[in-house]
Amino acid sequence: MSDAYDAGMSIRRRVLGDAHVDAAKARKTDFDAAFQQLITEAAWGRVWARDTISLRERSMLTIALLAALGNDDEVAMHVRACANTGASPDDVMEALLHVAVYAGVARANRAIRIAREVYADMGSEP
């Protein structure tokens, strides 16, 4: 594998946690192996691994973008990841307020509902 893959796997584990990454690797098949390599190298190894902004800021940006696009499963995953990146529930709400203004109230409302469910499941409802 490439240096970007190695860096990506390291940051992916740091952000999402070993259990999540190990489960994703266990589900990997020949069919989606190329996709898993792509996201590990590109998203995690070339974007998330950059040192220009903090993991906290990346979490907030990612949650806002995913919510704006209606990617509910990914919103939940990244809200859970905030425990590893330092983004607080207040940070998440700030990102989702931006979603409401710039991408629509319905998208933000759905993402807020998802975030509340995730925090409740984690035992840390804001």
Q: Per the confidence metrics, is the pTM higher than 0.75? A: yes
95: amino acid identity, one letter: A
Cβ neighbour number for residue 78 with a 10 Å cutoff: 28
Structural domains in the chain plus CATH codes: 3-48 (no CATH), 55-121 (1.20.1290.10)
Q: 99 and 91 in contact (C-beta within 8 Å)?
A: no
The predicted-structure confidence for 36-85, as pLDDT tens digits, reads as follows 999 999 999 999 999 999 999 999 999 999 999 999 999 999 999 999 99
